[in-house]
Structure 1
Amino acid sequence: MKNITLILIALFSFNSFSQDYRFGKVSKDELLEKRNSQDTSAHATILYHNQEIYYQYSQNDGFTQVNTMYRRIKIYDKEGYNWATHQIRLYDQSASSGEDLKSLRGYTYHLENGKVKKTKLKSESIFEEKESDNWELLKFTLPNINDGVVIEYEYAIHSPYIALEDVVLQELIPIKQLDFEVRIPEFFNFNKTVNPKSTYYPEVLESEYDRVENTYARNRVTTSRGTQSSTTEGSEWRFKERKTEVHETNIPALVYEPYVDNLRNYQTRISWEYAFFRGPDGEIKTYSTTWDKVVETIYRNDNFGGQLNKTSYFDDDLDAVLAGVDDPMEKAARVFNFVKSKVKWNKFVSIYSNDGVKSAYKTGSGNVSEINLMLTAMLRYAGLTANPVLVSTRSHGIPILPTRSGFNYVISAIEVQDGLILLDATNPYTTANILPEHVINWQGRIVREHGSSAWIPLNSNTSSKETVSLNIKINDDLSIDGKVRDHLTNHLAFDFREQYNNINNELHIQKLEEDKGEIEISNLEISGGKELSKPIMYSYDYHLENAIEEIGDKLYMSPMIFMEPKENPFKQEARLYPIDIIYPRSEKYVVNMMLPDGYIVESLPKNTKIQYNNNEGEFTYLARENGKMLQFTINLDMNKTLILPENYPEFKRFFELMIEKETEKIVLKKV
């Protein structure tokens, strides 16, 4: 009797605390929840994620893919409001038979006088926009968002394509419960891979069972290249279906870490490669591919390789641009600058031309592909060995399996004796081998004439340098006057131009004054902003209050005053993901300080040299006293751009010692 009572109590407890995740069954307890007990730092939680993918069959269309999604999300505070907006990507390869979104509905739930109330998602909160030539974005935002609400939405994507997109099993917020299932008829065979870079590995279940379809004519099986008919006839059609399932609870959020390349590169997800098709008659067609085959297919597309052979639209103009020039590098520079001035980027990202390079040239506007394929064609016309390079941008991630959707961007490369010169003409401030940061994503695939290809590194080996001269004069009231001179090269100069070239001096000064204490900046002068072949040089005068601490007859101050680091970005004890510094850099500060009348030096920071992993990082600090003048020379050289998690403790210690030194005080004593 005692055991029966215990069992009944256990069953009652389970039923009391089990959650109903059917659509519309949001509970009062969910609305009252203040924090995620498993992750109290979370600003929102996916209470339930359910995704089901299957292939439905019809006599007319054969097999088509249906991808259903249902989510219920708890929003705790304002920083979680962005989870009320969701976007869906729809692929349309032919512009005639693309993917369709169906059965979209959503609600926002809140408590009113202790009762659960809901607000419906309306059509005016649903927006469509073109992301690229083949991808469309549909965005919607749930209404009436406030702290504590619960939202839910569901929809289905109907696709004529057999190929499967990546299935995401982890997000930037925790997931309390996840159920995923995909059912695939035996005719479609996929290779699947769980992201090897992820730190959370789910249990993936596999099974197989019989499926029966009623038929009234010859069976039709849709492949990625059309519909095929079998010779089998009859009222019932039996075949095997394979099921892959994931059922997980309390999936941790992807943890943000400073200087991570793209956090979603480390997201738990399953990637699927369509390997082969086996028809009811046993015929096999292979679709499994290699990167060579992927690139060859892209190259054969008229909207890629076909655009490289067109020259008649620019030849007369380019002949005039190149007139009298014999040096190949001068030719390359003129072509590069000509394209940048002639065609502006319309912000569309694609590896394929949309309206064609000729149209882009004529209208002065084009997508990434049109601009950089045009650049490549012109460089070839000028007699240079130039080829396009396929790239996956940082936000697009690093592809795991060979697939045409693995690339989303194109740049151009000139092959020279010493290596490659990489060019991107979509940005007015790029120069040779100085690419926008979103392009510098590990490696790209160079596509040579006739479609042969090879991987090439995108990371720069050239150091970007910043040299700062900081003059300090301490006034009688302990305020400080001085002058700053700054010199920037390569990527640092590019970043400066992107940030400041299109703003006036007044706004520039406001930005310079941010987070620098009680400072007033004046007489800002800049050179090299428009001359891309030259470094950026700028200077300004400043007046600074309250940078010196006076205790008794002593003064305490940092030699770097407002330029000293505010905090160490590397505080965590351990690191999950690599640190990506993007490009090598060198920072040098030369500080010249004039001693105030009536004071002498009591103590200076000691000269120091700190190294990380031999010469991968080096920090030096030199202090000199010369009469009434003090000079400090502070150098940081980072030659390694990728720090692996196993090397993080040593790198963290390197940064800690460096920041301790940069914030160390000098002590002046009244005579």
Structure 2
Amino acid sequence: MKPLITFLLLCIFHSTFSQIQPYGQIDTASLKLSECPFEKNAGAMVLFDKGELTRYDYSIELKRHKRIKILNSSGLSEGDIKLQYISKGAAEDIDIISAQTINLTNGKIEYTPVDKKRIYTQKIDKYRKVVIITFPAVKVGSVIEFVYKWSTPFLYYPPWIFQEDIPVLYSEIITKFRYGVYYLSKVKQPFVKAGVVVTDKTTGIKKVWAMANVPSYKEEPFAPTDENMVQQIVFFKGNYTTWNEISRRVIGDVDFGKQLQVSLPGTDSILTIVAKLNNETDKIEAVFNYVKNKMLWDNTDDWFTRAGLKKAWNKNTGNSTEINLILFTLLKKAGVEGFPVLVSTPDNGIVEPNYPSILQFNKTVICVPADSIKHYVLDATNKHGDYKIIPYDILNTYGLGINTDIKNPVKELEKNAGQLFSIQSVVPASKAINNISTITADGKVEGIVTIKDYGYNRESSLKFKKLHEDKYADYLKEDNNDLEIKSVSFDNTDIDTLPLIQNINYKVNLVQSDGGYLYLYANLFSGFTTNPFIADVRNSDIELGFPKTNMINTVYTIPKELKIESLPKNLYVRAEDGSVSLKRFAAVEDNRLYVRYTVTLHHHYFKKDQYTGVKEFFKKMFEILNEPVVIQKSN
């Protein structure tokens, strides 16, 4: 009986609390609620979140009513609400209609309205502002609620976010569109209402989407882009009906296809140089490097041009599509056949094949077929890119091929024009770590480590270096307080055809025990020091990007005062499905200690139902990588 009673209680709870109550009307049960029924440790939860999205003739309006319950002290920060919007050019506006705090004091419900002085707007940058609501009298047990109106004079439909960083008991969006609007649901759990049509005599036809018991969003390591996003529904104007039609419209667009008809002055010198090259790959490399080095990316991704090719060329600056259409133009003049490809970067989300819309794309790259199987995907905005390697930010995504010449299409484009195709690479990346060091009698190690990064490893290391150059030494330490980075230098940063080389001069104190033993951990600077797969449950698939091999080769000179007490065994382990393997070799010869590891990732994508096997193998792998060499001091 007990499971049945629990089930019935949850049903009663859901039916009671999922009802959206009018502003200012609340029951004592909501105020007495002390924990989230489906996420026990949550500091706060959304009781309900209701939006009404309406399209008028030339504007869009969203009216929203939200109620949040503070469950414990960790949720008190929810008493400050921040609503961000685009302020430049009056693109968006937010008007706070009502806001209040509700408390239950001695069995009596108390309402504390938010004073207008506690509602203020702050500037974030020249494009954005944020409205901040600071609720009064917020304490554990409080409920805060607010109603506001978001509006835009443009036909832009904001997405409705069902999932937040706190659990959501009930979330509902009602749309009032007359025509021409499609939707794309990016959810992982079933709707309670999925596009339910409601006919109203006054407002006409409405559609309702709703979700209940939505868990808080928790980012998981190595989640695919589409899964590493909150659950939401996206609305877009459905002016195109098929991918093929989108492709045709794009080539006729004044900010895309028409731009390919403009002339670029001052290109004769590079074209003369390229004309003397006999090999097509040499021509591709020459033009790619020329554009990559000449043009500066303005950090803007759009599927269309903004300033136009000619202005971007003259200013040496442009968005991603301007730069890559310039690349396409020069390649074509050099006699290299290729075609533009519309793509979506990770921050724009994964393209959904079943919902044709130009809004799913935010960038253009160039595809050049090498033969019937191999092709190059070029992005000249990436200063560290190699023309032979597919750009990492669009790897394992979809692209839409655009035919720029209807009469004479590129042969390889014929099967991709107006169709989505998968952008994938099977080229493995590799990292080679060579560590030549000396161990002193008092338990210190000093040495030089050389790291060679090939393929995608080269690109990711260069990007990380650029972002964290001032703290790169701290990154190498990986929270090891006994490790000192004396110097770091880089070679081949500007030579794309060569591996990136990192030269690290380091010093580390070995871990010592009271019994006179030293513990040497040879797994340094590999990136395999912390296991990312330790959670008991996994909600998303695992995407590790690309096949890769990491080789760690260490040679230590040992003084006569020290003796190897215990050496890790030589072994080879492999996951049951052959997806990952690890080889370890350890030996002592004269006064030299040799330890080598080879980690090979044969597969880069794992379904979440494979997580148990992935977790078990990675646990074993990290135990092997972090098993020390035990050294005894002489008495």
In 1, Cα distance between equivalents of 2:364 and 2:14: 55
1:211 is matched with: 201
In 1, Cα distance between equivalents of 2:102 and 2:441: 61
User: Secondary structure at 2:247's aligned position in 1?
Assistant: helix
How far is the alpha carbon of 1:82 from its aligned partner? 12
Instruction: Tell whether the 8 Å contact from 1:465 to 1:490 is kept in structure 2 after alignment.
Output: yes
Q: Normalising to structure 1: TM-score of the pair? A: 0.77
1:170 is matched with: 163
2:163 matches 1:154: no
1:310 is matched with: 262
**Deviations for 1:582-606, whole angstroms, at most 9, x for unmatched residues?**
1222111012123342443333222
2:401 matches 1:404: no
User: Secondary structure at 2:271's aligned position in 1?
Assistant: helix
For residue 430 of structure 1, the aligned residue among 373, 378, 385 is 385
In 2, Cα distance between equivalents of 1:458 and 1:633: 35
For residue 353 of structure 1, the aligned residue among 284, 289, 305 is 305
User: Secondary structure at 2:513's aligned position in 1?
Assistant: strand
In 2, Cα distance between equivalents of 1:302 and 1:476: 73
Please, which moves more after superposition, 646-655 or 100-109? 100-109
1:455 is matched with: 420
User: Secondary structure at 1:631's aligned position in 2?
Assistant: strand
Instruction: Tell whether the 8 Å contact from 2:65 to 2:145 is kept in structure 1 after alignment.
Output: no
2:215 is matched with: 252
User: Secondary structure at 2:201's aligned position in 1?
Assistant: strand
1:335 is matched with: 287
1:381 is matched with: 333
Structure 1 regions of 5+ residues with no counterpart? 1-12, 131-136, 214-240, 276-286
In 2, Cα distance between equivalents of 1:245 and 1:211: 16
Closer, same or farther: CA 265–631 of 1 in aligned 2, 3 Å: closer
Instruction: Tell whether the 8 Å contact from 1:611 to 1:619 is kept in structure 2 after alignment.
Output: yes
**Deviations for 1:84-143, whole angstroms, at most 9, x for unmatched residues?**
4333479x9xx9xx97646355768699x999463546564256755xxxxxx6644445
How far is the alpha carbon of 1:564 from its aligned partner? 7.9
How far is the alpha carbon of 1:644 from its aligned partner? 1.0
Closer, same or farther: CA 34–367 of 1 in aligned 2, 3 Å: farther
2:477 matches 1:526: no
1:295 is matched with: 247
Instruction: Report the AA paired with residue 632 of structure 1.
Output: V
1:219 is matched with: none
1:487 is matched with: 452
Instruction: Tell whether the 8 Å contact from 1:394 to 1:440 is kept in structure 2 after alignment.
Output: no
Instruction: Tell whether the 8 Å contact from 2:376 to 2:390 is kept in structure 1 after alignment.
Output: no
1:231 is matched with: none
2:172 matches 1:179: yes
Structure 2 regions of 5+ residues with no counterpart? 1-12, 407-416
**Deviations for 1:636-668, whole angstroms, at most 9, x for unmatched residues?**
111322111122211111211100101112233
In 1, Cα distance between equivalents of 2:472 and 2:480: 14
User: Secondary structure at 1:48's aligned position in 2?
Assistant: strand
Percent identity, please: 20
How far is the alpha carbon of 1:330 from its aligned partner? 2.1
User: Secondary structure at 2:114's aligned position in 1?
Assistant: strand
Instruction: Report the AA paired with residue 584 of structure 1.
Output: P
Instruction: Tell whether the 8 Å contact from 1:256 to 1:263 is kept in structure 2 after alignment.
Output: no
How many positions carry a matched residue from both structures? 598
Instruction: Tell whether the 8 Å contact from 1:440 to 1:458 is kept in structure 2 after alignment.
Output: yes
How far is the alpha carbon of 1:538 from its aligned partner? 2.1
In 1, Cα distance between equivalents of 2:589 and 2:46: 63
2:508 matches 1:544: yes
Matches within 5 A, 1:30-69: 36=36, 38-42=38-42, 45-55=45-55, 61=57, 66-69=61-64
User: Secondary structure at 1:646's aligned position in 2?
Assistant: helix
Instruction: Tell whether the 8 Å contact from 1:593 to 1:630 is kept in structure 2 after alignment.
Output: yes
For residue 546 of structure 2, the aligned residue among 583, 587, 606 is 583
Instruction: Tell whether the 8 Å contact from 1:108 to 1:152 is kept in structure 2 after alignment.
Output: yes
User: Secondary structure at 2:207's aligned position in 1?
Assistant: strand
2:557 matches 1:594: yes
1:229 is matched with: none
How far is the alpha carbon of 1:617 from its aligned partner? 1.8
1:648 is matched with: 611
In 1, Cα distance between equivalents of 2:463 and 2:134: 36
In 1, Cα distance between equivalents of 2:80 and 2:426: 39
Instruction: Tell whether the 8 Å contact from 1:393 to 1:441 is kept in structure 2 after alignment.
Output: no
Instruction: Tell whether the 8 Å contact from 2:351 to 2:398 is kept in structure 1 after alignment.
Output: no
Closer, same or farther: CA 288–18 of 1 in aligned 2, 3 Å: closer
How far is the alpha carbon of 1:209 from its aligned partner? 3.1
Matches within 5 A, 1:231-250: 241-250=204-213
1:103 is matched with: 95
For residue 85 of structure 1, the aligned residue among 76, 82, 86 is 82
Please, which moves more after superposition, 167-176 or 648-657? 167-176
User: Secondary structure at 2:569's aligned position in 1?
Assistant: coil
Please, which moves more after superposition, 564-573 or 150-159? 150-159
Closer, same or farther: CA 594–108 of 1 in aligned 2, 3 Å: farther
Closer, same or farther: CA 144–17 of 1 in aligned 2, 3 Å: closer
User: Secondary structure at 1:453's aligned position in 2?
Assistant: coil
In 1, Cα distance between equivalents of 2:300 and 2:331: 23
How far is the alpha carbon of 1:243 from its aligned partner? 3.2
**Deviations for 1:495-517, whole angstroms, at most 9, x for unmatched residues?**
2222325887x754344345222
Closer, same or farther: CA 373–71 of 1 in aligned 2, 3 Å: farther
Instruction: Tell whether the 8 Å contact from 2:246 to 2:418 is kept in structure 1 after alignment.
Output: no
In 2, Cα distance between equivalents of 1:603 and 1:15: 64
In 2, Cα distance between equivalents of 1:16 and 1:272: 30
How far is the alpha carbon of 1:301 from its aligned partner? 0.5
Instruction: Report the AA paired with residue 464 of structure 1.
Output: A
**Deviations for 1:335-378, whole angstroms, at most 9, x for unmatched residues?**
21221222211122211111101000111211111111111111
In 1, Cα distance between equivalents of 2:628 and 2:523: 10
How far is the alpha carbon of 1:398 from its aligned partner? 1.8
Root-mean-square deviation (CA, aligned residues, Å) is: 4.0
Closer, same or farther: CA 605–73 of 1 in aligned 2, 3 Å: same
Instruction: Tell whether the 8 Å contact from 2:344 to 2:363 is kept in structure 1 after alignment.
Output: yes
1:202 is matched with: 192
2:622 is matched with: 659
1:498 is matched with: 463
Instruction: Report the AA paired with residue 378 of structure 1.
Output: L
Closer, same or farther: CA 199–470 of 1 in aligned 2, 3 Å: farther
Instruction: Tell whether the 8 Å contact from 2:85 to 2:92 is kept in structure 1 after alignment.
Output: no
Closer, same or farther: CA 16–656 of 1 in aligned 2, 3 Å: closer
How far is the alpha carbon of 1:64 from its aligned partner? 6.4
How far is the alpha carbon of 1:534 from its aligned partner? 1.4
In 1, Cα distance between equivalents of 2:474 and 2:316: 35
**Deviations for 1:463-493, whole angstroms, at most 9, x for unmatched residues?**
1211111234222221222221111112211
Instruction: Tell whether the 8 Å contact from 2:586 to 2:595 is kept in structure 1 after alignment.
Output: yes
